[in-house]
């Protein structure tokens, strides 16, 4: 069995490619980094370090890599012959790989029109649908109908912290012991392939995606933005500060009430989920840079994104948003000169003020929510300390 995976970064190697290899696939990565591609092809393997007490090492073999820029024809041939295609390129890059995928899929129509699932594993809701729509914009309606006749785009939810480090043998993927890969089985078209034993298959993915985005990702971002204000360099050091843990934990607890109300989840299980997530964030074997976690603040402040949607929905339901509005205010303060979105955000605030920035970037017009965020923004800007 052959799996083609777009993106040989930390998630690609440390998580998706790793599990596909363990399922029995020959994994071929597609990337644009020539050094990374050479490193994989040199030994047809790579190393993964598990960030547990033993720092366990794994070698993932029977892998190869192609350069989508200099080896376009080989990538197209791999698309034609793949049994499964997956991605982890970042949701903003899905449109970039859509072009070569569209070419490959149209050639597959003629040469090998066997059923194929393409799973986009990105930190976004319905990432596979986003990829499908990007492909649809590049081909005619008739061509897209042909693609849809044998290609499925099942959506997924993924959760695993993945980093990397340099070694003499090349780049080593670093991953936490915990992982979750949830796939919408109802959207798959190829039942012939074996199920990935390490993945969870469900008929309705939305509860898992929203739990991940609005509790895990929101809590991670909240911690990073509060850490920036307090001058803490890592998520781990930040959560050693009681006030930061208090705000992060309570923001997650507030957001969880949106999940509980929407999906009738079990409140005790949700409390346990939050406890487990906080412990993951505290993992002493990980040094999680807050500038990495907090990057792209404009995207994370979007209307349906991790910070804003649960706040909007909870306010509509008449439920508390005290800690979430602090988290949003902290995100507007994030000021990192090497982050393009942060630079744009701070420039806009300087020229237009915080209230207009809230409307412009988060599209929130409710005056009470805006006022609470703005007051928290002013309070945080004037103090490097949080008070419970």
Average pLDDT over residues 163-177: 85
- Residue 25 phi, psi dihedral angles, 5° rounding: -85, 145
Percent of the chain with pLDDT over 90: 91
359: enclosing H helix or E strand = helix 354-362
Domain 2-202: CATH superfamily is NAD(P)-binding Rossmann-like Domain (3.40.50.720)
pLDDT of residue 143: 97
Where are the domain boundaries for CATH 3.40.50.720 in the chain? 2-202
- Going by their DSSP bridges, the two strands 84-87 and 63-67 should be labelled as unpaired
Average pLDDT over residues 280-305: 95
- Residue 59 phi, psi dihedral angles, 5° rounding: -110, 120
Tokens for 309, please give them.
């949607």
Tokens for 72, please give them.
């376009």
pLDDT of residue 171: 83
Where are the domain boundaries for CATH 1.10.1040.10 in the chain? 206-381
How does residue 167 score in pLDDT terms, banded at 50, 70 and 90? confident
pLDDT of residue 382: 86
pLDDT of residue 235: 97
pLDDT digits (tens, 9 = 90+) for 44-98: 999 999 999 999 999 999 999 999 999 999 999 999 999 999 999 999 999 999 9
Average pLDDT over residues 188-197: 92
pLDDT, averaged across the chain: 95
pLDDT of residue 170: 73
Distance from C-alpha of 13 to C-alpha of 186, rounded to nearest angstrom: 27
Contacts of 346 (CB under 8 A, 6+ apart): 335
pLDDT of residue 383: 76
**How is the beta sheet containing 63-67 ordered, strand by strand?**
63-67, 26-31, 2-6, 84-87, 116-120, 151-152
Residue 168 has pLDDT above 90, yes or no: no
Percent of the chain with pLDDT over 70: 98
Cβ neighbour number for residue 336 with a 10 Å cutoff: 17
- Indicate yes or no: pTM above 0.85: no
- Residue 152 phi, psi dihedral angles, 5° rounding: -105, 150
Residue 384 has pLDDT above 80, yes or no: no
pLDDT of residue 330: 98
CATH of 206-381, one of 1.10.600.10, 3.30.1160.10, 2.160.10.10, 1.10.1040.10: 1.10.1040.10
Distance from C-alpha of 290 to C-alpha of 298, rounded to nearest angstrom: 16
pLDDT digits (tens, 9 = 90+) for 332-375: 999 999 999 999 999 999 999 999 999 999 999 899 999 999 99
Residue 263 has pLDDT above 70, yes or no: yes
pLDDT digits (tens, 9 = 90+) for 9-29: 999 999 999 999 999 999 999
20: enclosing H helix or E strand = helix 17-23
What residues are paired with 85 via a beta bridge? 4, 118
How does residue 388 score in pLDDT terms, banded at 50, 70 and 90? low
Dihedral, 92, 97, 102, 108 alpha carbons, nearest 10: -140
Residue 280: helix, strand or coil by DSSP?
helix
């Amino acid at each position: 069995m052959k799996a083609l995976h777009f993106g040989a970064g930390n998630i690609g190697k440390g998580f998706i490619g790793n599990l596909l290899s363990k399922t029995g696939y020959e994994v071929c990565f597609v990337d644009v980094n020539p050094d990374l591609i050479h490193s994989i092809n040199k030994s047809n393997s790579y190393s993964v370090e598990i960030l547990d007490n033993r720092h366990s090492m794994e070698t993932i073999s029977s892998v190869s890599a192609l350069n989508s820029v200099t080896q376009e024809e080989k990538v197209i041939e791999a698309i034609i012959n793949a049994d499964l295609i997956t991605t982890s390129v970042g949701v903003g890059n899905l449109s970039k790989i859509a072009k070569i995928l569209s070419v490959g899929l149209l050639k597959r129509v003629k040469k090998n029109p066997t059923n194929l699932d393409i799973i986009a594993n990105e930190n976004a809701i319905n990432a596979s649908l986003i990829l499908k729509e990007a492909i649809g914009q590049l081909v005619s309606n008739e061509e897209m109908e042909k693609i849809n006749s044998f290609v499925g785009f099942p959506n997924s939810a993924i959760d695993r912290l993945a980093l990397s480090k340099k070694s003499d043998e090349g780049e080593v993927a670093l991953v936490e012991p915990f992982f979750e890969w949830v796939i919408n089985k109802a959207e798959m078209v190829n039942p012939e392939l074996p199920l990935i034993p390490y993945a969870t298959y469900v008929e309705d993915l939305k509860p898992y995606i929203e739990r991940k985005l609005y509790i895990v990702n929101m809590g991670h971002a909240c911690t990073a933005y509060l850490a920036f204000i307090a001058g803490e360099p890592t998520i781990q050091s930040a959560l050693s500060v009681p006030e930061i843990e208090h705000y992060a934990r309570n923001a997650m607890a507030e957001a969880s009430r949106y999940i509980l109300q929407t999906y009738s989840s079990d409140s005790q299980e949700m409390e346990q989920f939050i406890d487990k997530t906080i412990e993951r964030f505290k993992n002493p074997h990980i040094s999680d840079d807050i500038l990495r976690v907090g990057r792209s603040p404009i995207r994370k402040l979007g209307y349906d994104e991790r910070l804003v949607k649960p706040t909007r929905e909870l306010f509509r339901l008449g439920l508390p948003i005290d800690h979430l509005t602090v988290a949003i205010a902290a995100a507007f303060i994030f000021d990192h000169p090497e982050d393009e979105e942060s630079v744009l955000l701070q420039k806009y605030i300087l020229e237009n003020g915080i209230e207009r920035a809230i409307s412009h970037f988060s599209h929130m017009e409710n005056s009470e929510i805006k006022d609470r965020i703005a007051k928290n923004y002013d309070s945080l800007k004037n103090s490097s300390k949080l008070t419970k």
